[in-house]
Amino acid sequence: MRADESSADTAIDLIGFVTRHLACAQCHSAYAPPDVQVTQHEHDEWSLVATCPSCSAQRVITAYDEPPYRRLDGPHGPSLPPLSARDMIEWRAFLKQFGGDMIDLLAGS
């Protein structure tokens, strides 16, 4: 399959996704395929504009033709060394004196 055929298939898939899953934010009308245009396509990033057939409100949609996690390093994210016994000792000491909840912990406060 040539690259431009593949791109055309992706554009059709993305337009189909918009018409099936999104509606006008103003009046909730459904979009039909002619209401959705690809305005930009660079690498795996696509920009589309959907124009409401009822109220003409326009909506810009950015889409990627592969899941965003694939854009991270490595197969499922950045490659980090496995936790060591030393990491566990440090975490045990940290958690022993830590008085907050998970929100405090993840917020880093």
Site residues, Zn ion (CB under 5 A): 24, 26-27, 29, 52, 54-55, 57
- How many CA atoms are closer than 13 Å to the CA of 13, on its beta-carbon side? 11
Q: How far is the CB of 49 from Zn ion (least distance, A)?
A: 13
Q: Decide whether 7 or 51 has the Cβ nearer to Zn ion.
A: 51
Q: How far is the CB of 26 from Zn ion (least distance, A)?
A: 4
Q: How far is the CB of 59 from Zn ion (least distance, A)?
A: 9
Structure-block tokens of residue 15? 């337009």
Comparing C-alpha atoms, which of 41, 45, 36 is closest to residue 16? Answer: 36
Q: Decide whether 11 or 24 has the Cβ nearer to Zn ion.
A: 24
Distance separating alpha carbons of residues 15 and 33, to the nearest angstrom = 6
Q: Decide whether 31 or 46 has the Cβ nearer to Zn ion.
A: 31
Q: What contacts 24+ positions apart, CB below 8 Å, involve 2-8?
A: 7/41
